[in-house]
Structure 1
Amino acid sequence: MMKIRAESKTFEEIVSGTIVTEKPNIKLKDVAGLDAAKEFMKEAVILPSQFPHLFTGTRRSWRGILLYGPPGTGKTFLAKAVATEAKNTKFFYIISSDLVSMWLGESEKLVKTLFSMARENKPSIIFIDDLDSIFGFRSENESESGRRIKTEFLVQMQGVGNDQDGLLVIGATNMPWSLDSAILRRFEKRIYIPMPEAPARSLMFKLNLRSTPNSLTDEDFKQLGLKAEGYTGADVSIVVRDALMQSLHKVQTATHFRKVRGPSRDNPDEMVDDLLTPCSPGAPGAMEMNWTQVDGHKLLEPVVSMSDMLMSLQTQKATVNDDELKKHEEFTKDFGQEG
């Protein structure tokens, strides 16, 4: 009996590490585009968490939601935003590999403990990322441990003998067509998270730049959204990060600097006149020096320009191909709905 209790406590400690004790602090307004998916998630998750009395009797909240689409389109980001806005809800963030144990019999116990703890802490959201990595089609060549973990997951999702109210399972996958059909059925709603359209891409460029000093106009952001056709949210993020480095490259290659007025590093509200910025050799006040001779506190943060963004767009290519998109569209016609 003592051994069983100790083992149970060990599994609980493992699962406890997946509980996000601090909300991710991502709001739905931070998610660019995906208007239909956001409205559905409000209805399916946030509304029941705030008004549980509305979801009793025959009107029940959804038990399983599958978010699928190409990699980098914002499935995990959307789930974290929902977790932030769902009041008084415990959020269990699971990567599929968290449930796989090298010891025979432990994986299914981890699944059972996960669902048990989620029920004890209701209302709860279990979010499982990369669902396809362990819940693919069953086959004759599949390992015994693989079969066991799928069977336990199906039992727990079905909720036989357990109260499922207040428990939602959200799964995310880049390859929904590879999921076992029994697993797929447990997710009552299957929402396609598509590639972002031009307005959403424009907003993504803005959101990724945040407060970084830049000279881009609204028209520039609009043009970037149009030029980034075929880019995912993750692709746009990489383009912006590369552009940020492009602006730093000017500092590294500069042979001359000049003094300018700007915010103090020690006190951003205070303006000082002795900051340094790269310039051409013929600029007024140009001093011949390189970046190694500049005091760290005296360098003015370089401004990101449209040319930096365009250069990054040329070097950073889109990561999703047409064949992959066709597969998602075909799956949506057969099993899902547009998000």
Structure 2
Amino acid sequence: MTSVSTRSMDFEEEARKARKCYMYGDYQKGISFYKSAIEKLRLFCQTLSNESEKKRGNECIAELNRELRLTEEHDRMIDDITENLLRKPRNGSDRAAGGDVDYDIDFGVPIHHAAVDERPTRDPGFNNRFAPQGATPFQQAPGRPQPVARDVRSANNDPRRRNAPSSASNNKQKQPDNKRVNNQPNNGEKKYQPVGAEKDLVEGLERDIVQKDPNVRWADVAGCTAAKKLLQEAVVLPRFMPDFFKGIRRPWKGILLFGPPGTGKTMLAKAVATECKTTFFNVAAANLTSKYHGEGEKLVRLLFEMAKFYAPSTVFIDEIDSLCSARGQSNEHEASRRAKSELLIQMDGVTGAVGGDDVSKMVMVLGATNHPWDLDDAMRRRLEKRIYIPLPDMETRQQLLEINLKEVQLHGDVDLNGIAQKLDGYSGSDITSVCRDAAMMQMRRATENLSMTQIQEQAQVLKEKLQLPTIMKDFEDAISKISSSVSKDMLEKYDKWMKDFGSV
């Protein structure tokens, strides 16, 4: 059996080369290899004494003959198309048969078509590539796509619909999708075009995190005066005075907002994107993680490439401590550490995406967290400005009440100043909850002890009752039911971290 296998290698090699040439469109050489393989296999079958092996060999000969006829048919088809397209027009004006080749209007000279003017050439790396295993009497042929014979002349009389061979020098099929996408109407907006397998990753990032206008104004954020001034200095002023913000006066590349939950850190970030007219990247941990090895750090790199493309941009990382916690912990995963390293490199590495002097290409990283003490030391250094967003003071609490109640009708006995004094120690989110609860008190009184059927029957009467203004007692009841969500121990911890690492 060893001698048989050794002698069968001759026609196996010929069959592999023939199929390789067919796949690359080199039909002339493929025909030669097919004929050689068939002849060698026929001679080999004559030496066999086993009837089952001889039958198997005859089946392979029939298969190779079928592939040879198909290859010859495709070669004739290309010859017919080439002759049809390149035939000289009769009398200098008639088109050739087929009528699809473009001629110069003045001179009648056919324009060069790479797909038909150049016959396919053998791939230089042909012998270095792993060829698919051919069918032999002693080895099953692997599955491969079967070629489909097509009648080109009946396909709407359009010979150009055949794909160009992959080895053609000016192959149009190898052009990236960028040109095709850029030709589509996009309302005049530029669009980041990835290459290769990164297209799906970029589409996911754009779908999940890119926001052009969050529609939050500075006036929608009560208080936070110091933070607003610093954010305007980092984002707004450099766009109006680009000549000043250069060199040592370059804009801040990283800002950290930290403080108790519900104090307006995320609202400030949205106001930056809206007021400063920058592309807003709202990043969460789920956007930069993947189950595939190495894809997490690739997502980080693509994020900053997109931010640089759409610059000026704001990359807002909410709960940044979840992405950039201290490295070296016992429960840290390798993939998480690689993603952190890539994020640090993109922010301030040799090829970092931020920190340049060109204000029009500015990418600012804005982070928000409730646990600043969990941040990695390197990330804390890259976030140059670390701003403490404390609980609202008396004036800020009154502004929050006015903002939340601007669409609510209030009774004359409502004293917003007195309510603000009672809300000492409440966060902005807690104050919003108090206002919502108080605004619903009138509805609760009107529908008390009524079933759903009675509510439907008395809908018109209840509608008039619901228009009554909110009274002071409603706010007192709401405050008695809703407590502050921030403890004194937590406030002391924030004050200590601000004293050690704050930068305003």
Which residue of 2 is the match for residue 134 of structure 1?
Answer: 323
Note the C-alpha offset of 1:110: 0.9
- Does residue 92 (structure 1) correspond to residue 266 (structure 2)? The answer is no
CA contact (8 A) 1:190 1:335 kept: yes
1:247 corresponds to which of 442, 466, 489: 442
In terms of mean alpha carbon deviation, does 76-85 or 162-171 score higher?
162-171
Note the C-alpha offset of 1:293: 2.2
Q: Which has the larger radius of gyration?
A: 2
Note the C-alpha offset of 1:295: 3.4
1:321-332 maps to which residues of 2 (within 5 A)? Answer: 321-332=487-498
Query: More relative contact order in 1 or in 2 (CA 8 Å, sep 6+)?
Result: 1
1:58-73 maps to which residues of 2 (within 5 A)? Answer: 58-73=248-263
Which residue of 2 is the match for residue 291 of structure 1?
Answer: 455
Which residue of 2 is the match for residue 48 of structure 1?
Answer: 238
Q: TM-score, normalised by structure 1?
A: 0.83
Task: Please list the CA deviations of residues 127-171 of structure 1 after superposition, one character each: whole Å capped at 9, or x if unmatched.
Answer: 000111121111133101110110000000114224523110000
Mapped to 2, the partners of 1:93 and 1:201 lie a distance apart of: 27
1:116-195 maps to which residues of 2 (within 5 A)? Answer: 116-138=305-327, 139-162=329-352, 164=354, 165=356, 166-195=362-391
Flag the structure with higher strand content: 1
Q: 1:117 to 1:303 in 2, by over 3 A?
A: same
Mapped to 2, the partners of 1:333 and 1:142 lie a distance apart of: 29
Aligned to 2:463, the other structure's residue is in SS state: coil
Q: 1:16 to 1:96 in 2, by over 3 A?
A: same
Aligned to 1:171, the other structure's residue is in SS state: strand
- Does residue 19 (structure 1) correspond to residue 183 (structure 2)? The answer is no
Q: 1:50 to 1:90 in 2, by over 3 A?
A: farther
Note the C-alpha offset of 1:59: 1.7
Aligned pairs, number: 301
Aligned to 2:314, the other structure's residue is in SS state: strand
Which residue of 1 is the match for residue 145 of structure 2?
Answer: none
CA contact (8 A) 2:324 2:375 kept: yes
Note the C-alpha offset of 1:30: 1.9
Note the C-alpha offset of 1:302: 3.7
Q: TM-score, normalised by structure 2?
A: 0.57
Q: 1:142 to 1:245 in 2, by over 3 A?
A: same
Mapped to 1, the partners of 2:364 and 2:291 lie a distance apart of: 28
Mapped to 1, the partners of 2:468 and 2:296 lie a distance apart of: 50
Note the C-alpha offset of 1:100: 1.9
CA contact (8 A) 1:252 1:290 kept: no
Flag the structure with higher helix content: 2
Aligned to 2:210, the other structure's residue is in SS state: coil
Which residue of 2 is the match for residue 273 of structure 1?
Answer: none
Aligned to 1:299, the other structure's residue is in SS state: helix
CA contact (8 A) 2:347 2:353 kept: no
In terms of mean alpha carbon deviation, does 187-196 or 45-54 score higher?
45-54
Mapped to 1, the partners of 2:446 and 2:242 lie a distance apart of: 56
Which residue of 1 is the match for residue 477 of structure 2?
Answer: 311
Q: Which amino acid aligns with 2:433?
A: I
Q: Which amino acid aligns with 1:50?
A: F
- Does residue 200 (structure 1) correspond to residue 401 (structure 2)? The answer is no
Q: 1:222 to 1:162 in 2, by over 3 A?
A: same
CA contact (8 A) 1:248 1:302 kept: no
Give the aligned CA root-mean-square deviation in angstroms: 2.2
Note the C-alpha offset of 1:337: 3.8
Aligned to 1:53, the other structure's residue is in SS state: coil
Q: Which amino acid aligns with 1:309?
A: F
Q: Identity across aligned pairs (percent)? A: 41
